Structure 1
Amino acid sequence: MSTGSKSKQVRELQARLRAIGHFDRSPTGYYGTMTASAVSSFQGKRGLDRTGRTDTVTWARLTAMTKQPDRDALYPPTTNKLDKPDPRCLKGRVLCISKTSDTLRWMVDGKVVTAMDVRFGSQYTPTREGTFSVFQKSRHWTSTIYHTPMPYAMFFSGGQAVHYSSDFAARGYAGASHGCVNVRDEGKLASVFSQVKLGDQVVVYR
């Protein structure tokens, strides 16, 4: 395998490299420059020629020291790497939102039900941090200030809510919200929206 390769084996390569700290992204199945750099790093640590290509020797060395990745390792729930949840997230029903990893976890009694990528407000309209609760839900909401759609809105602090953002889905982290917690996976958020109840806790932390 080398730059330009695209296969299930590349995804496995990335998952194995990630397991030992050489690849810090979710597996994609595409062998790009970041994968080549990760392979080169692994080769250097093991005394192999730093070619960035995964030859037979490199693959054998990697598979000998890593476990066969399971489905969660091959297809992680988020593009971003999940960090350790805040202790406040470990009891009850919580939307656990990390500004460090840009992720949201829907947790029940300390267990992660599902997770997704999120983005936050800019420095001019920051997303508030702290412990809150969901006080209003709306499947079809439009911002009364910015007049933009906010599907699956779950309000937790004034006008700030967790909601689906088509702009986030299209532009990624090139943009920002006006303070809300934007989600780009509409399907995942729709499922969480159906489970969250008024009064459920929201923890936003860094």
Structure 2
Amino acid sequence: MAVRQGTGPSAAAAVLGVLLVLAGPHPAAAATSSAAAEPESACVAGTGPYQRELEDHVGRPVDGVQSSADCLAVRDFQRANGVSPADGYAGLATYRTMLVVAAGSDPNAAGDCPEREQRVTCVDMDRQLLWVQKGGRVVFRPVPIRTGRDYQETRPGRHEVYWRSKDHVSTLYGTPMPYAQFFDGGQALHGAPGSLYEGGGSAGCVNLTKPDAKRLWDLLAEGDDVYVWGTKPGTED
């Protein structure tokens, strides 16, 4: 394309304008414009099984029916606490995460776990939470767990860690039990692959995520107390 040459500021501006049209927009500017033009996806998840609990936790009116505002509030909670997918649905994983958050720095507010001078690993089967305290001080903040299913329930009461096996493999099931810390017969605190929220429960052990099991391994020692109480939701009393 031929561009007629002229002189002076007007001619220079005209030439520059033609060149800009030929070159097109700057890539970064185009990307910014595209991102700005693309709105965030709508929050359209329906009513979840833990709708009332999540509504109460995020400060929404508790009516048990999902609204657009409820969905957005639940989605914000999921994003803030690493729940995936963050879609605004009040499902089990979101509810269990809510229990961890709600327990906060005072998980033993009800006084169910005994306070002793030595470390006590507290296993709350009602809320499916584990933490460690020494006296009245929490030294390992609450984390989600999975305890035993029907007929293979985790045994309640006071126990103590009597054997530790870092790379243990179950002799009954042939499955890995990383960072296993045994406290009653074949029952142990240990890491488990996959989601803690799937299936009906463990075969009696206290399952943690592998990262949480490693942190617990680094803290505890043989002889430490383990105290178990409550009933896993969905199992018989």
In the alignment, what sits opposite 1:52? 67
1:202 CA drift (Å): 0.1
- 1:3 Cα shift? 5.9
Which residue in 2 is equivalent to 1:174?
199
Q: Structure 1 residues 176, 41: closer, same or farther in 2, change over 3 A?
A: closer
Alignment length, in residue pairs? Answer: 156
1:86/1:182 CA distance change after superposition, 3 Å: farther
Residues 90-129 of structure 1 mapped to structure 2, 5 A cutoff: 90-91=115-116, 92-112=118-138, 113-129=140-156
- 1:111 is displaced (CA, Å) by 1.8
Larger Rg: 2
Contact 2:156 2:228 survives alignment (8 Å): yes
Identity %: 28
TM-score (norm 2): 0.55
- Name the residue aligned to 1:190: 214
The CA RMSD over aligned residues, in Å, is: 3.6
Amino acid at match of 1:176: G
Distance 2:212 2:164 in 1: 16
Distance 1:40 1:53, change over 3 A: farther
Letter in 1 for 2:224: D
Q: Unpaired segments of 5 or more residues in structure 1?
A: 6-16, 28-37, 43-49, 60-73
User: What secondary structure does 1:79 align onto?
Assistant: helix
TM-score (norm 1): 0.63
Partner of 1:4: 43
Task: Report deviation, 1:188.
Answer: 2.1
Tell me which residue corresponds to 2:97. Answer: 79
Counterparts of residues 124-139 of structure 1 (less than 5 Å)? 124-139=151-166
CA contact under 8 A between 2:81 and 2:97: conserved in structure 1?
no
Distance in 2, Cα, partners of 1:80 & 1:53: 20
